Amino acid sequence: MAKHRIKQLNGDGANQEFDITDGFTMGRSQQNSMVLNSPLISRTHARIEVTDGGVVLKDLDSGNGTFVDGRRIVEVKLENGQVFMIGNFELRFEEGSSDDEFALYTTSSDSGIKLKKGVEGDVKAAPAKEIMQTMFTPSSNTVSAERVKDLQLRLQAVYEANEIISTEHDLHKVFERIVEQIVRLVPASNAVIMLLDSESGKLRSKYEYSTSENADIQVSSTVIKRSFIDGEAVLVYDASADSRFGEAQSIVMGNIASVMCCPMTFNQQHLGILYLDTRGTANAFKESDMELLVGLAGPAAVAIKNAQYHDELESDFQTTLRLLSNAIEMRDHYTLGHTFRVTKYSVAIARELGWSEERLIEVEMGGVLHDVGKIAIPDAILGKADKLTDEEYAMMKIHPQRGADMMKDCKKLEPLIPYCLYHHEQFDGSGYPHGLVGDLIPIEGRVVAVGDTFDAITSNRPYRDGRSAEVGLDIILKCKGTQFDPECVDAFVRAFKKGRIEPFMQRTQDDDCEGVVCPFCSAFIVIPLDSAEDDLHKCNVCYRMVKLQAQHDMFFAVLATAAESELDRSSDSGIAVKDDSGISVRRKKVEKTKKPKKK
């Protein structure tokens, strides 16, 4: 049995691995099993013990503590892949594999995938690369017409799979089409696609197909391990014929008879596996079936990599949009959070209008940039507490055009221009910058106009307090058909009645409600009744992480640091910090009433 290990992830000696032996300790002293040289670390800081119940990490009453998922612990059972911190060192626990346990896999609770250990039986296996190279090598023997037709169908399947990757970035659709090609030509009962999760280092099920409805899919972890780790295409002709399978084991394995599995590899990097099996039918798969599977795994790997690149670019693009928006928000303290709230209102309106999910994503981006032109407005005007003069107001009115000018030379931003340029146009033609009337105003501008005005009415300004939601709704209704498009107003009213508007409104910490106010955008964040000080929560308006603090028996929120936010994102261990969890932590609890008290 392979030993459990601790891997150092950062600092001097990063990527070193240490086998966990009896009496394994970590600390600054050279006498420790793992020496961590830092003044933040105690001489003998922590110990790891292998028990019958699992591998346990214990803090040895260190000065600066041992942290798991951002929480200081006394003792905790470690899960495979779990990261913990001692001083400024990030360390990861990695389970050793054995004949009875294989820790490569993880499945979601609703995936319907059951991993079972099993022996391979009558097996043919070869490196997938070799099979790919020989897939289309002509046979020296005479080829029958039936064989030629079969080859044509398989070539067509590979060709169509390559067509998919040139046009589709939705991995689920890619996997669906690829599996369709496979099961059309191969007698498979089940098909599973698993991808390597970069965070946990485990394979996760991403797509499943089965001829049996509402049944769990049990797959052979032995076959998957061999295929993924060794990069082999594996064909098991008859698993039940192996003498190491007992009758009971066959039942547990779900009557798996024939199995095929091959890695999806891109530039020698194994991204995941394609797995197929039959139930109750031995010798169902042929070598030509395995060749087809390998031929389709190649395009699948390219599609996965393309999708990952696309997601990275899209994430960077979204981050850039938010940076632009933040630059404007931070210039005017009095309208802080306005952009995020208007975006949420606009998405709610567009959803009621029946816009597609793809278009709703565009609305969100357009809402974020609807006031980007304010970057051209002088601070003296933008932050003025008193009423603007006619000259100042004329200067303020140029911001939609300035925003459009900023975006016009970027092809990616072109679809977002209407949200910026037309959100101050009015349905009766009295708006700016072009005085457009009715349907001549692009619908994007008409949608944002309603959300923008509602936020202006209900948010605090230096010269007045924000009005209530009911007053804001009444004003919007009174301006229906004059200032606003009637259809957009009706959509806003429907969203309001469904509770899709008020949760995003600006609040103050004095509001009598169960939750806290985001310190960045002033949105209301609902918190559970069992919340405790230092808990982290995500604002669903500006997406920032906030940390709970307590004062006078009530909670308030402060912005979480970057390190705290990152720890929260990386936590997927499922550790529940409760009295009955078996984990002892040092956390200060705060007595709470059901509703926060007034300051």
- Residue 105, CA distances (Å) to 77, 80, 209, 290 in order: 19, 10, 18, 23
Contact predicate 450/345, CB 8 Å: yes
Residue type (1 letter), 283: N
Distance between CA 519 and CA 505 in Å, rounded?
A: 13
Query: Under 8 Å CB-to-CB from 555, ≥6 apart: which residues?
Result: 516, 527, 531, 533, 548, 549, 590, 592, 596
Same domain (yes/no): 271, 298: yes
- Of all helices (H) and strands (E), which one includes residue 286? none
CB atoms within 10 A of CB 319: 10
- Residue at 105: amino acid letter: Y
Look at residue 323 and tell me if it is in a domain.
Answer: no
Residues β-bridged to residue 75: 58, 584
Asked if residue 546 belongs to a domain, the reply is: yes
Cα 163 vs. chain centroid, distance in angstroms?
27
If asked whether residues 167 and 204 sit together in one domain, one would say yes
Residue 316 lies in a domain: no
Residues 377 and 234 in one domain: no
Three-state DSSP class for residue 299: helix
Comparing C-alpha atoms, which of 118, 175, 198, 114 is closest to residue 299? Answer: 175
Both tokens of residue 280? Answer: 């109750």
Number of helical H runs and strand E runs in the chain = 16, 25
- 45 and 70 assigned to the same domain: yes
Residues 411 and 559 in one domain: no
Strands (E), 377-486: none
Instruction: Name the token pair of 2.
Output: 């392979």
Residue 144 domain-assigned? no
Given the structure tokens 């090598």, which residue do they identify? 137
Q: Which region, left, alpha or beta, applies to residue 347 given φ > 0 means left and ψ of -120 to 50 means alpha?
A: alpha
Q: Rounded CA gap, 468 and 529, in Å?
A: 26
pLDDT in the model for residue 418: 97
Co-location of 295 and 432 in the same domain: no
Three-class DSSP category at 277: strand
CB contact set of 76 (below 8 Å; sequence gap of 6+): 56, 57, 68, 575, 583, 584
Question: 545 and 462, same structural domain?
Answer: no
Give me the domain span that covers residue 72.
4-96
599 belongs to a structural domain: no
| C-alpha dist (Å) from residue 35 to 28, 43, 46 | 6, 9, 11
Taking alpha carbons only, the member of 56, 106, 63 closest to residue 84 is 56
- Same domain? 497 vs 520: no
Secondary structure (3-state) at 124:
strand
Q: What is the pTM of this model?
A: 0.55
Cα dihedral 259, 262, 264, 269 sign: positive
The answer to whether residues 344 and 464 belong to one domain is: yes
For residues 568 and 588, is the Cβ–Cβ distance under 8 A?
Answer: no
**Two tokens at 450?**
């309603």
- Give 142's DSSP letter: P
The answer to whether residue 325 is domain-embedded is: no
**Domain identity same for 393 and 367:** yes
Rounded Cα distance, 297 and 421, in Å:
47
Give the strand pairing for 203-210 and 105-106.
parallel
> Coil, helix or strand for 365?
helix
Residue type, 90: E
Which residues fall within 8 angstroms of residue 529, CB to CB, at 6 or more apart?
514, 592, 594
The strand pair at 122-127 and 232-238 is best described as: antiparallel
Overall residue count recorded for the chain in this entry: 599
CA-to-CA distance for 59 and 67, rounded, in angstroms? 9
**509 inside domain:** no
Q: What CATH number does the domain containing 416 carry? A: 1.10.3210.10
The CATH number linked to 69 is 2.60.200.20
CA distances from 160 to 179, 265, 288, 292, 576 (A): 12, 19, 18, 13, 47
CA 463 to chain centre: 41
Confirm whether 84 is domain-assigned.
Answer: yes
CATH of the domain at 111: 3.30.450.40
Distance CA 186, CA 278 (A): 10
User: How would you class 479 by CB atoms within 10 Å of its CB: exposed for 0-12, middle for 13-18, buried for 19 or more?
Assistant: middle
pLDDT of residue 458: 92
Based on the fold, state whether residues 442 and 543 are members of the same structural domain. no
Same domain, yes or no, for 261 and 402? no
Among 458, 478, 504, give the residue marking a domain's end: 504
At residue 76, what are phi and psi to the nearest 5 degrees?
A: -155, 145
Q: Position of tokens 């059951």? A: 114
pLDDT mean by block of 10 residues, the chain; 599 residues = 79 82 89 86 91 89 84 88 88 69 39 46 57 53 60 64 66 83 83 83 84 72 82 78 41 62 88 85 77 82 82 81 75 73 94 94 93 89 85 94 92 94 97 96 97 92 82 96 97 94 71 68 73 83 82 82 62 28 27 34
For the chain, what is the domain count?
A: 4
